[in-house]
Amino acid sequence: MGLIANNPKHLGGAIDVEAADKAARFMQLCNAHGLPIVSLTDTPGFMVGPDIEAQARVRHVCRMFVVAAHLSVPYFTVVLRKGYGLGAQAMAAGGFDAPVFTVAWPTGEFGAMGLEGAVKLDYRKELDAAALGAEREALYKRLVDQQYENGQAMNMAATLEIDAVIDPAQAQARFVDTW
């Protein structure tokens, strides 16, 4: 099997230009040799910012989606912790429904983007309407807590966004039983 994984000790696990290119090349190599791919996902998404945009980030990260769409080998995704945004979808061969299975450890958390930022964007009007100070902070904290609750792995499995939540000790058996 080929194994791809995010490293949360480097850029918090975010996928930058170099990581996207490396992952795409590795997926192509595994495909060429008939090796199934296991993705251990722990990413806040794709790296953002002016410096990364100057490196044509979109062109590079799209390679992960294009390569994944042409894979002929089985692909498995395990979300260990963070599964945010398009970066998580890229690590899952284009979407959580694309792999043979997508499972998460109980520590898995999901969201369209970092949850604190999502609350600031999605609830801007509500936050602006709240009085400055303790009232606004309490509303913000309640909304962030709600997003974390909604994005828990168990909730994702219950709504069929992922296949299951598994005990980390069962991961190897899951691959053997499926493959």
pTM, two decimals, is: 0.85
Strand (E) positions, the chain? 2-5, 37-43, 75-84, 101-104, 109-111, 164-165
Question: Has domain 2-108+152-178 been given CATH number 3.90.226.10?
Answer: yes
d(CA 117, CA 68): 28
- Give the E-state strand segments of 11-167 in sequence order: 37-43, 75-84, 101-104, 109-111, 164-165
The answer to whether 78 touches 41, Cβ cutoff 8 Å, is yes
Do 1 and 36 contact (CB within 8 A), yes or no? yes
The set of long-range contacts for 124-129, using a CB threshold of 8 Å and a minimum separation of 24, is none
- Which of 22-26, 72-76, 173-177 shows the lowest mean pLDDT across its residues? 173-177
Given a contact cutoff of 8 angstroms between Cβ atoms, the answer to whether 57 and 17 are in contact is yes
Structural domain spans, the chain? 2-108+152-178, 113-151
The model's pLDDT over 44-87, given as tens digits with 9 standing for 90+, comes to 887 677 776 666 667 778 899 999 999 999 999 999 999 998 89
